Amino acid sequence: VSELREWRPVIYRKCTDTLWLLIFFLFWAGLMFITGYAVMAGAAERLVLGYDSFGNICGRKNTPVKGAPLSGQDMTNKKYVFFLNSCSLEMQSLKISSLSLCVSSCPQEQLNSLEDLQSFARNNGSCLCIYNLTVSSYTLNPKAAELCPTLPVPPSKSFPLFNRCVPQNPECYSKYASVLISMVNEMDVFHRTLSGILAGRDTVVGLSVLALAFSFILVLAFRFIRTVLVHTLIALVVFGLLFVSGILWWLYYDYRNDPSTELETEKENVKFLLGYAIFSTIVTVILLSLIFVLRKRLQFTVQLFRIVGKIIGRIPFLLFQPLWTFLILIVFWVFWVAVLLSLGTAGTAQTTSGGQVEYRALSGICHMAWYHFVGLIWTSEFILACQQMTIAGAVVTCYFNRNKNSPPPHPVLSSISVLFCYHLGTAVKGSFLITILRIPRIVLLYLYNILKQKESACAKCLFKCCVCWVWCQESCSRYFNQHAYTTTAINGTNFCTSAKDAVFILAKNSAKLASISCFGDFILFLGKVFVVCFTVFGGLMAFNYHRELQAWVVPLLLVGFFAYLMSHSFLSVFEVTADAMFLCFAIDMETNDGSAEKPYFADQELLTFVSQSNKLTEGQKHRSMRPFQDNEDGTELQPMV
């Protein structure tokens, strides 16, 4: 079927993979149900702002809870959570035993008596005793000792970890932090991820902006690339890899030899630093080896990016394509995190003895969270697939145009309209294929982290092999998805037919195009490594200044993932353009012969580049085979002297 197909951009199209588009709409209907449920049953402000033992959220007005007389108070000016017994906290069923209050400021100095508490309340307007005890009654009420903090009250500081008053006394601080950390450790991975994101939210946002800036600079650099820029990029990548690896090892030894490293989160940071350092060193060695081996093909890389830049010059709006993709992803991620926070706090308020309020988690929240997580992966991949199809459609329109000096009008808008009118189902199906390959890898990693203390060495090796195998499948699927999208943009066929046709064409022309495409992808991958390296380095420096009570493993992983995703989103313009161009070139060579009746669509510069690259590859093969050929022709071995 593929041999008889007329490979030309069709004018009259029909909708493809409509069933998958309907499934995607039904899936999003489920997400909307979870969103509505989370908004109605959840209270993300409880997690972000903190709340007291009587159901009042600090920093806002509250509604009364039935059976809790001290609930429903206006806490607009009381933004910090203060524990009455901060030096002797205990955990009981994921709940801190000490009473907590909302206060306007934390005591900066030690308070040794009820008179000191009374003086602090009058001078600072911050009452540290139960709300129904007036300031004048601190020294008169016989039950004041039970309704006020345990004396002496250690000096504390408002720390941006859920707006808690953290005691500064070393002994109290250690006990306080250990209880909070154990509370987080006893939660499931869903709540631990939330706490990690919220703990370093300001740093994560700043580093994400830095990753965005690096990605945009690289896009401009690749657009006007020259030989000097390629050498500069490689030098920066080498420097970044060596520098980040060195910094990771230095931080590991610094943390390990720090005598104040006693808390579990700090010990966990040391373990992850060691893992980061080992991984970074391995990646550095592999990439440096590849750079050394492929150094002689740099000139062809410059020519490749000049040709790709020439196509982008004809469609300048392709450079702005990642911006709207980025904005849509940001809007979706903000929505996703907001729903996640609401799900994490979804619970019913129940009054206990003494008028206190507890929030009991609702049943089914964990299943909703996993459904919500699948929505994150599938929708993100769908948005990226739409970007790939838009770029591929614009490149196809310009390639199969005889008059290269007069490109078609508005190719990007035309590609977007074709995508939304006919081929959204194809993008849904392709993104679902990536999703079902990514989820098993995440589940395997999750199970590995849960069972790593109980596994044997053989089981660990088996887990890692399974993860590696699934990752290889995912990478191969991404590669074929991209070419399937280009084939859909040409022929208007569904996903499976397009994938089959693309595989047929690529298999017949793999020897001609593999080396060119692979080395271009390698240079783009170095650009992504550059963005991730320098963003992670900035994260290491930022988090290193906040060692106390900072479990920054999750935020740093989030920053690295976001940096790679942003660099991939921006640099994929060149990657998709190059891959679409070479697929169109292979189709051009397959269906035309360069005669007057069947002239090539490719210009002379592209034909010359592919020809020279193939000659270089064949020359290297002949040189590698020459010693064996000479030996077969009867070359004698000379005796050793």
The half-sphere exposure of 501 on its side-chain side, counting CA atoms within 13 A, is 27
**pLDDT above 80 (res 536):** no
User: In 3D, which of 30, 606, 73 has the Cα closest to residue 306?
Assistant: 606
Q: What integer pLDDT is reported at residue 450 of this predicted model?
A: 63
Query: Is the residue at 436 inside a domain?
Result: yes
Q: Is 85 in the same domain as 193?
A: no
Query: Is the residue at 44 inside a domain?
Result: no
> φ and ψ at 524, to 5 degrees?
-65, -35
Label residue 544 by pLDDT band (50, 70, 90): low
Task: Record the pTM.
Answer: 0.71
- Angle, helix 321-344 to helix 553-591, in steps of 10 degrees: 140
Average pLDDT for residues 45-74, to the nearest whole number?
Answer: 84
User: In 3D, which of 511, 506, 517, 439 has the Cα closest to residue 474?
Assistant: 439
| Preceding peptide of 152 cis, ω within 30° | yes
Query: Is the residue at 11 inside a domain?
Result: no
Label residue 26 by pLDDT band (50, 70, 90): very high
Domain around 567: 187-349+358-393+406-616
Sign of CA dihedral 412, 413, 417, 420: positive
Q: What percent of the chain has pLDDT over 70?
A: 76
Q: Is 68 in the same domain as 212?
A: no
Q: Is 70 in the same domain as 193?
A: no
- Count of CB atoms situated within 10 Å of the CB of 592: 15
Q: Is 279 in the same domain as 150?
A: no
Torsion (CA) 169, 170, 175, 178 in degrees, nearest 10: 120
Q: Is 156 in the same domain as 191?
A: no
* pLDDT tens figures, 219-255: 777 766 655 666 776 777 777 778 778 877 887 777 7
Residues 6 or more apart in contact with residue 486 via CB below 8 angstroms: 392, 395, 396, 502, 579, 580, 583, 584
Query: Is the residue at 177 inside a domain?
Result: no
Q: What integer pLDDT is reported at residue 92 of this predicted model?
A: 57
Q: Is 108 in the same domain as 163?
A: yes
Q: Which residues pair with 350 in a beta bridge?
A: 358
* pLDDT tens figures, 77-107: 898 889 888 777 766 555 676 788 999 988 8
d(CA 576, CA 484): 12
Q: What integer pLDDT is reported at residue 638 of this predicted model?
A: 33
Q: Is 221 in the same domain as 134?
A: no
Name the amino acid, one letter, at 406.
S
* pLDDT tens figures, 110-162: 888 889 999 999 888 888 898 888 888 888 888 888 889 888 888 888 765 55
Query: Is the residue at 37 inside a domain?
Result: no
User: In 3D, which of 469, 486, 571, 494 has the Cα closest to residue 525?
Assistant: 571
d(CA 526, CA 313): 23
Query: Is the residue at 639 inside a domain?
Result: no
Tokens of 452: 């790593």
Q: Which residues pair with 101 in a beta bridge?
A: 82
Across the chain, mean pLDDT equals: 77
Q: What integer pLDDT is reported at residue 552 of this predicted model?
A: 61
Q: What integer pLDDT is reported at residue 629 of this predicted model?
A: 43
Query: Is the residue at 180 inside a domain?
Result: no
Judged by average pLDDT, the poorest of 197-201, 343-347, 434-438, 507-511 is 197-201
Pick 517 or 123 by higher pLDDT: 123
Contact 426, 495 (CB under 8 A): yes
Judged by average pLDDT, the poorest of 48-57, 334-343, 448-457, 604-613 is 448-457
Sign of CA dihedral 278, 281, 287, 293: negative
Pick 458 or 608 by higher pLDDT: 608
Q: What angle do CA 507, 512, 517 make, to 5 degrees?
A: 90
Q: Is 156 in the same domain as 215?
A: no
DSSP state, residue 640: P
> φ and ψ at 47, to 5 degrees?
-75, -40
Average pLDDT for residues 513-532, to the nearest whole number?
Answer: 73
Average pLDDT for residues 540-568, to the nearest whole number?
Answer: 68
Q: Is 198 in the same domain as 327?
A: yes
**pLDDT above 80 (res 167):** yes
Q: Is 418 in the same domain as 547?
A: yes
Q: Is 148 in the same domain as 209?
A: no
* Number of domain units in the chain: 2
Judged by average pLDDT, the poorest of 83-92, 130-139, 420-429, 436-445 is 83-92
Query: Is the residue at 327 inside a domain?
Result: yes
* pLDDT tens figures, 259-307: 554 445 556 667 777 777 787 788 788 877 877 776 666 667 777 777 8
Residues 6 or more apart in contact with residue 631 via CB below 8 angstroms: none
Residues 6 or more apart in contact with residue 623 via CB below 8 angstroms: none
Q: Is 117 in the same domain as 260?
A: no
